[in-house]
Structure 1
Amino acid sequence: MDIISLFAGAGGLDFGFQQAGWRIAWANEYDRHIWQTYEYNHPHTLLDRRSITAIADAEIPAAMGLIGGPPCQSWSAAGALRGIHDQRGQLFFEFIRILRAKQPLFFLAENVAGMLLPRHHTALQNIKSLFADSGYHLAFKRLNAADYGVPQERERVFFIGYRHDLNLSFHFPEPSTAARDNTLKHAIADLQNNALPALSHQYSNGDCCAVPNHEYLTGGFSSIYLSRNRVRAWDELSFTIQASGRHAPLHPQAPKMELIAPDVRRFVPGSEQLYRRLSVRECARIQTFPDTFIFHYQNLAAGYKMVGNAVPPLLAYHLACAILAQLKPYLTAHANSPISVLNTGVADVSAIHSNH
């Protein structure tokens, strides 16, 4: 069951789909700082390193599905908010171009919840129309990853569609309140005492970490960072893991920050030594990457960026399983179609559910 992945990043979305039984036959990622990480963790996927704008439709293999997360900075509430008017925002059209050319059975596109801001309403409606005009029944929803077992509050929007001739509409898996029991304690408690600070100029410790990538960014904190509490307790969910190491949440070993003036907080006096940013590996655990998923980088900023930009694999897995279950009657009836069904079973998901 081959699918293709655009704007693959480090491959969190891809990894979740693989654990559900799909095969990523071909992927595209233009950021050279990610290539080594993607290829190491997806050794059976052909990675095309060119800009998607330079790749002709005919160079992309046929597949049952198309997945990806077009760059989101243009839509982010924390970013420039230029949306579709930004060159990165326009990469959504490249996703749609390839969707129209390849006509897979389904597609999934992920982006930040900032797309839902009123200023982007017209652009969002146009994107929805483009998906429908491409020949797909579109399902659209904002999801919180915490409702699917991911130990953080993380809201993202998903566009998922089935080709019109399938006469199917995608049904999102139901959220679970029990899933929110997967707290910071469950995710990272065993990593508390063996993290390493970054080397000078935030360079990596390399293979010196007892646990891969278990190193954290050092240095001061901006006034913006100190404007609100950045500590979640052991029995809580994490704040959203962002793509910036400077804004990584603080470790739950520290007490919550004290409010001393409007929009000004400080570390609790006498406990300053407890305040450190979460390590790259702790952020990866919170994103539900297993420890066997290795991030390759020289400067820690690149590691945090790869982790923070990824779709949590566990959330991707739940969506991938739902797609597989809903397509199963069609796949069974067309097992001998030109695009062969390579594996109709669901793979072992222990790599996602078990962090260590």
Structure 2
Amino acid sequence: MNLLELFSGIGGFSLGLHQAGFTFDKVYFSEIDRHAIANFKHNFPNAQHVGSVCDITGTSIERPDIITFGSPCQNFSAAGNGLGLQGAESSLIRYAIKAIDYFRPDIFIWENVKGVLFERHCRDFWAIVKALADIGVYQIEWQLLNTSWVLPQNRERIYLVGRLA
């Protein structure tokens, strides 16, 4: 199996999937912060950095079976500016959606702050769901989960999962 982790940071999805028992032949990751890239490479020395998410569909990587992404949340966060998809950071999710449409992985997983479900972001959330549904080949489900169930912190996050229908 191949994994593509977008907005990878230091590799939280890769680590979590590994700890859940998944093994990957290839791990690709997209990140722009040089410190996060170095940390990811330290944690996963065989992983291949594929550059910015903005250029992901121009890379020549093997088709990923799973795409994961925790797209920037600043514009959806309760403490953020409230710009939602109009914000420079949160609007980057369009590149993840483009990658899903391009690669057609078996599964994709999106994680974000619960603020994406706030009333002021309701249209943005449904625009994201619609863009993913319009790809036309995925069954999509989501749930708000509290990370305190698995981590020593009390943080609610939305997880949206798509799988080939």
Deviation of 1:138 (Å): 0.4
1:267 equivalent in structure 2: none
Q: Name the count of aligned residue pairs.
A: 162
Provide the rounded CA distance (Å) in 2 between the counterparts of 1:59 and 1:75. Answer: 32
Give SS of 2:79's match: coil
TM-score (norm 2): 0.92
Give SS of 2:140's match: strand
Residues 1:45 and 2:47 are matched in the alignment: yes
1:255-289 CA-partner distances (Å, limit 9, x unpaired): xxxxxxxxxxxxxxxxxxxxxxxxxxxxxxxxxxx
Flag the 1:86–1:60 CA change in 2: closer, same or farther, 3 A.
farther
Give SS of 1:25's match: strand
Amino acid of the structure 2 residue aligned with 1:155: E
Amino acid of the structure 1 residue aligned with 2:11: G
Provide the rounded CA distance (Å) in 1 between the counterparts of 2:44 and 2:4. Answer: 13
Deviation of 1:159 (Å): 0.9
Q: Do the aligned partners of 2:57 and 2:102 also contact (CA within 8 Å) in 1?
A: no
Q: Do the aligned partners of 1:57 and 1:102 also contact (CA within 8 Å) in 2?
A: no
1:14 equivalent in structure 2: 14
Provide the rounded CA distance (Å) in 2 between the counterparts of 1:103 and 1:4. Answer: 12
Note the residue ranges of structure 2 that are not aligned, 5 or more in a row. none
Give SS of 1:55's match: helix
Deviation of 1:132 (Å): 1.1
1:279 equivalent in structure 2: none
Deviation of 1:3 (Å): 1.4
1:124 equivalent in structure 2: 125
Amino acid of the structure 2 residue aligned with 1:162: R
Provide the rounded CA distance (Å) in 2 between the counterparts of 1:98 and 1:57. Answer: 10
Deviation of 1:57 (Å): 4.0
2:36 equivalent in structure 1: 34
Give SS of 2:112's match: strand
Q: Do the aligned partners of 1:3 and 1:22 also contact (CA within 8 Å) in 2?
A: no
Greater share of residues in strand: 2
Give SS of 2:75's match: helix
Give SS of 2:127's match: helix
Q: State the 4+ residue runs in structure 1 displaced beyond 6 angstroms.
A: none
Give SS of 2:90's match: coil
Provide the rounded CA distance (Å) in 2 between the counterparts of 1:81 and 1:44. Answer: 38
Q: Do the aligned partners of 2:2 and 2:62 also contact (CA within 8 Å) in 1?
A: no
2:116 equivalent in structure 1: 115
Provide the rounded CA distance (Å) in 2 between the counterparts of 1:104 and 1:29. Answer: 19
Give SS of 1:74's match: coil
1:36-82 CA-partner distances (Å, limit 9, x unpaired): 1111001111112x322133345332021111111111111111111
CA RMSD after TM alignment: 1.4
Give SS of 1:90's match: helix
Q: Identical aligned pairs, as a percentage?
A: 30
